[in-house]
A and B are shown apart, each in its own frame.
Chain A
Amino acid sequence: MLETALFVILAVFTVVTAILVIVQRNPVSSAIFLILTFFSLAGIYLLLHAEFIAAVQVIVYAGAIMVLFLFVIMLLNLEKEKRLVARNRLMKGVGIFLGVALLIQIGMVFQHVILEGAKGKFPPEKVAALGNTQVVAQLLFTDFLLPFEITSVLLLVAIIGAIVLAKREI
């Protein structure tokens, strides 16, 4: 009962703040509302008993990535947008239509597909006994070791790429 109530509150908060992100004229307000969206998503991850992901969501997304966004907004010194959306009214209509069509499509998939699959080997009780972070770390350093190492190369490429792009003279 409490779980359902918490889910409804967090879900409504997530959707409302997500809508506010895309309707704000000022990019700084958009960023602040996006941070709120990330925080409520972290709450939803807690409801799903994914404590590690919830913590990483707050630290990496709400902490690092959004600070990067706010930093760039401050560096560029943007004024408020005069127009919220595209000047072309047709483009506006097409954009909203495509979004709604996509939502209906995904909804129809959920209605017609049986959401069942082969059960894995980590039932909630086992994860609770072992500890969520321990299980994630164990998988990360055994089954997913190669993707993990490739991710570190990707981050290195991103660091070099960002420096090269942002530098005035190389």
Chain B
Amino acid sequence: MVSLSSYLILSAILFSIGVVGFLLRRNTIVIFMSIELMLNAANLAFVAFSRFLNSMDGQVIVVFVMSVAAAEAAVGLAIIMAMYRTQKTVNADEMNLMKW
């Protein structure tokens, strides 16, 4: 029997990898993938708690998280495409139109 804390530690490791990727990478698409990693880490924690606390609410919330992630990916990638059209780059360092 795998304990709850091992699932939570895996979730924490995945979340930290997502954070490091978000902070280090300069390609906006890879930054988006890091956000997806973090969302998945949260989902894993939800499902693990739902299993070990005998409650199904966690799994229902995971369905909502997934739909929010889908909406976020659609809008975010549309923004990246609009950005690429005007700036000819997806590098986060070179996106400075709104910089003071």
Chain A interface residues toward B at CB < 8 A: 3-4, 7, 11, 14-15, 18-19, 21-22, 27, 30-31, 34, 37-38, 41, 44-45, 47-50, 52-53, 56-57, 60-61, 64-65, 68-69, 72-73, 75-76, 78, 81, 83-87, 91-92, 94-96, 98-100, 102-103, 106-107, 110, 115, 117-124, 127, 132, 135-136, 139-140, 143-144, 147-148, 151, 154-155, 157-159, 161-163, 165-166, 168
Contact = CB atoms under 8 A, between A and B. Distances in A.
A136 to B, nearest CB: 5
A14 B24 contact: no
Interface in B47-100: 47-48, 50-57, 59-60, 62-64, 66-75, 77-82, 84-85, 90, 93
Contacts of A124: 51, 54
A103 to B, nearest CB: 4
Nearest to B32: A69
Contacts of A72: 29, 77, 80-81
B83 to A, nearest CB: 10
Contacts, number: 226
A9 B91 CA distance: 35
A162 B93 CA distance: 24
B15 A162 contact: no
A56 B60 CA distance: 12
A166 B60 CA distance: 32
Name the prevailing secondary structure of the B interface residues.
helix
Contacts of B69: 61, 65
Contact of B37 (A37, A100, A163): A37
Given A21-B37, A22-B24, A147-B64, A99 B19 contact: yes
B25 A85 contact: yes
A44 B10 contact: yes
